[in-house]
A = this chain, B = another copy of it.
């Protein structure tokens, strides 16, 4: 009892959102694991573009929330009903933490998890969105049985942290596009997610990959990740050039930015019957010019994907790193301790110094 009281009152450092452009490292209560839950001591995390949207007030979360959704750590506590794990196990958690037991999960749509019962738009994304997140010393993991993915000994924390969201989302852009051996693929925007979409397109057998990006650091990295050509939209009519390079249009276009221009160009650069696989987070109205999809007669397909989560997805992605098929390390360009996360947000938000992803260590 005495020990419990102590633990209950234990504190930890965490990145707390307090409203537009207000985040701070603060002392907050350390979580305890209830039935089916686990507490993980965070050893590495990162900042996502979505965290910037939150910080800037473009995506609403409630003030007081600990943010961050890309957690690597060590199991600190296991709640009742969680089996097959031990305190001290190194684990990776997806940004999406499905329950596995609701209507959505039992329909294989884990990212739309309804938490036990129904189905909820983007409901699988909980960390740093609807519950406390990963930019902290400790993290409470819901539905731990479905989400704790043990990390193989030979993989470092840095080798796996980008799998939680960036790689899982990026690859899913290629997967949802149903890329086949021999397809031509255009990937619009080569930020971290677009870069992973490029890598995913190559992994699935695309014959020719065209990156679209104007930042020189990202253009170069796009080639490293698998792009055969990178077009600068500031200097090239990308739709015309993609049509020329692909002899009539790309089989698949992946949108990885979330604005009208890239969405529309992604649709326009397709051959009839092509697929637009959208990863961007949009705001406002999207216009779909009727001529861009043959007025509905072109057999086009538009698919949107959040991010596949759950421990099996993480296991599979880690296996790709283990066998050398995918190396996420070049994407980590900067490293900060948790105490300096506010500086890290500034650097990342301003895209200074060729930053792609920052690693944050508590």
A298 touching B306, Cβ below 8 Å: yes
CB-defined interface of A298-327 with B at 8 Å, one 1/0 digit per residue?
A: 111111111000111101110110110100
Complexed CA–CA distance, A335 and B190 (Å): 45
B303 touching A112, Cβ below 8 Å: no
A101 touching B282, Cβ below 8 Å: no
Residue A333 CB within 8 A of the other chain = no
A319 touching B182, Cβ below 8 Å: yes
A280 contact set on B, CB distance < 8 A: 296
Residue A11 CB within 8 A of the other chain = no
CB distance from A13 to the nearest CB of B (A): 29
B105 touching A297, Cβ below 8 Å: no
CB-defined interface of A121-137 with B at 8 Å, one 1/0 digit per residue?
A: 11101000000000000
A146 contact set on B, CB distance < 8 A: 100-101, 106
Complexed CA–CA distance, A36 and B312 (Å): 21
The interface of chain A, by Cβ under 8 A from chain B, is 35-36, 80-81, 83-84, 98-101, 103-112, 116-123, 125, 143, 145-146, 171, 174-175, 180-184, 200, 203-205, 207-208, 228, 247-249, 258, 271-273, 278-290, 293-306, 310-313, 315-317, 319-320, 322-323, 325
15 A-B contact pairs sorted by A residue (CB < 8 Å): A36-B81, A83-B116, A84-B116, A106-B310, A118-B247, A121-B298, A204-B204, A205-B205, A228-B323, A283-B290, A286-B288, A286-B290, A296-B304, A298-B306, A301-B303
